[in-house]
Amino acid sequence: MSGASDDGGSGPATARTFRLYDLRVEIVSVKPGLEAVCNHRLGDCVFVSGENLSIPAGKTFSMYALAAVLPLLPAKQRMSDEHDWINHDEYVACPDPACEALMRITRTGIREFRLEDVSAQGADAIGGAANAHGVSSADHDDDGVDPP
Ligand SMILES: [Zn+2]
């Protein structure tokens, strides 16, 4: 008869979690007559979950349009101050000057991640996956690269 709340958990490492928003990037405006410039179609979208992007089966998304939103996605995934502009601005223009399409970045949910699942360095810091990439703080200067 052990504690009722004990699920045989794996210890304090399971508490090393963080949360990120899932995102949807969607084409929300395409100027009539310019649809063919980048092959945008209303509703075309890319989903972001953690570090992964996905596009619905059979759909496409312009890599140039995607390039315009990529720098914003990690910031949009993270919680920040209420009045931080990243919490309020959601539209991004396609970078093709002849296109005029708009994309909207929408937060669609919150997902929790475990540090050790997404970071070899984080895992190393808690004693797992030691030197998985041959790097640790102790031997950082012994990487075979001489400083200038
Ligand atoms: Zn475009």
pLDDT per residue rounded down to tens, the chain (148 residues): 333 334 444 445 457 999 999 999 999 999 998 888 899 999 999 999 999 999 999 999 999 999 999 999 999 999 999 999 999 999 999 999 889 899 999 999 999 999 988 888 876 655 544 444 444 344 444 444 554 5
Going from the Cα of 33 to the center of ligand 1, the distance in angstroms, rounded, reads 12
Is 53 a domain residue?
Answer: yes
| pLDDT on residue 134 | 40
Going from the Cα of 69 to the center of ligand 1, the distance in angstroms, rounded, reads 12
Q: Where are the alpha helices (DSSP H) in the chain?
A: 35-38, 63-69, 73-77, 115-118, 120-125
Is 6 a domain residue?
Answer: no
Going from the Cα of 126 to the center of ligand 1, the distance in angstroms, rounded, reads 45
Going from the Cα of 8 to the center of ligand 1, the distance in angstroms, rounded, reads 52
| pLDDT on residue 101 | 95
| pLDDT on residue 63 | 93
Contact between residue 73 and residue 23 where contact means Cβ atoms under 8 Å apart: yes
| pLDDT on residue 79 | 96
| pLDDT on residue 36 | 85
Q: Which domain holds residue 66?
A: 17-118
| pLDDT on residue 111 | 97
Going from the Cα of 15 to the center of ligand 1, the distance in angstroms, rounded, reads 43
Going from the Cα of 52 to the center of ligand 1, the distance in angstroms, rounded, reads 22
Is 11 a domain residue?
Answer: no
Is 12 a domain residue?
Answer: no
Going from the Cα of 76 to the center of ligand 1, the distance in angstroms, rounded, reads 21
| pLDDT on residue 59 | 95
Is 86 a domain residue?
Answer: yes
Nearest Cα to Cα of residue 40 among 89, 88, 104, 86:
104
Is 138 a domain residue?
Answer: no
| Burial grade of 148 (CB within 10 A; 0-12, 13-18, 19 or more) | exposed
| pLDDT on residue 125 | 59
Domains held by the chain: number: 1
Going from the Cα of 99 to the center of ligand 1, the distance in angstroms, rounded, reads 4
Nearest Cα to Cα of residue 137 among 123, 124, 126:
124
Is 9 a domain residue?
Answer: no
| pLDDT on residue 84 | 96
* pTM for the whole structure: 0.73
Q: Which residue has the tokens 């890319």?
A: 46
The Cα 125–Cα 35 span in angstroms is 50
Q: Which residue has the tokens 């619905």?
A: 56
Is 146 a domain residue?
Answer: no
